[in-house]
């Protein structure tokens, strides 16, 4: 197990794209009551900004953005919200599901009608 962990750490260290990156911006504030924000930017085009507020269920609700350099030289960006409803990222980089085929939509409609009529099926 230790060998696997060591191998993974070495692989991550070797794969670092810019080992000489420096921190350009590091701004942090934490009021101690669950409200916080920070912004970090490095010389190799990594950027993150995050704001947090106390959530209704004891968690921190957060929203923010992070950016990073892509292999083609452009910059990728992901914006997110994390709260009682979960983590919701938004980005053109994220895959989207395929549309539901018409025949599946029809089967779902039929199933909903059957449920509304009280029809049930035994599971075996």
Contacts 24+ apart (CB under 8 A), 3-11: none
Looking at the DSSP bridge assignments, the partners of residue 49 are: 39, 65
DSSP H helices in the chain: 2-14, 102-116
Tens digits of residue pLDDT in 91-103:
999 998 889 999 9
Residue 11: inside a domain: no
Nearest 10 degrees: Cα torsion 55, 31, 23, 7: -50
Taking alpha carbons only, the member of 75, 79, 98, 77 closest to residue 88 is 79
Single pTM value for the model: 0.62
The domain total for the chain is 1
Task: Name residues of the chain where pLDDT drops below 70.
Answer: 1-18
Q: Which long-range contacts (CB under 8 A, 24 or more apart) does 53-56 make?
A: 55/83, 55/84, 56/84
What CA–CA distance (Å, rounded) separates 107 from 119? 15
Q: Which domain holds residue 91?
A: 20-116
50 found inside a domain? yes
Which tens digits make up the pLDDT trace of 24-45?
999 999 988 889 999 999 999 8
Q: Is residue 14 part of a domain?
A: no
């Amino acid at each position: 197990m230790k060998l696997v962990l060591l191998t993974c750490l070495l692989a991550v260290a070797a794969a670092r794209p810019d080992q000489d990156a420096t921190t350009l911006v590091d701004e942090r504030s934490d009021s101690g009551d669950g409200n916080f924000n920070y912004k970090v930017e490095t010389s190799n085009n990594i950027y993150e900004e995050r704001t947090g507020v106390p959530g209704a269920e004891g968690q921190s609700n957060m929203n923010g953005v992070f950016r990073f350099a892509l292999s083609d030289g452009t910059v990728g960006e992901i914006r997110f919200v994390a709260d009682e409803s979960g983590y919701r990222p938004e980005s053109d980089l994220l895959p989207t599901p395929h549309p539901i085929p018409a025949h599946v939509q029809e089967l779902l409609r039929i199933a909903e009608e059957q449920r509304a009529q009280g029809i049930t099926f035994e599971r075996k």
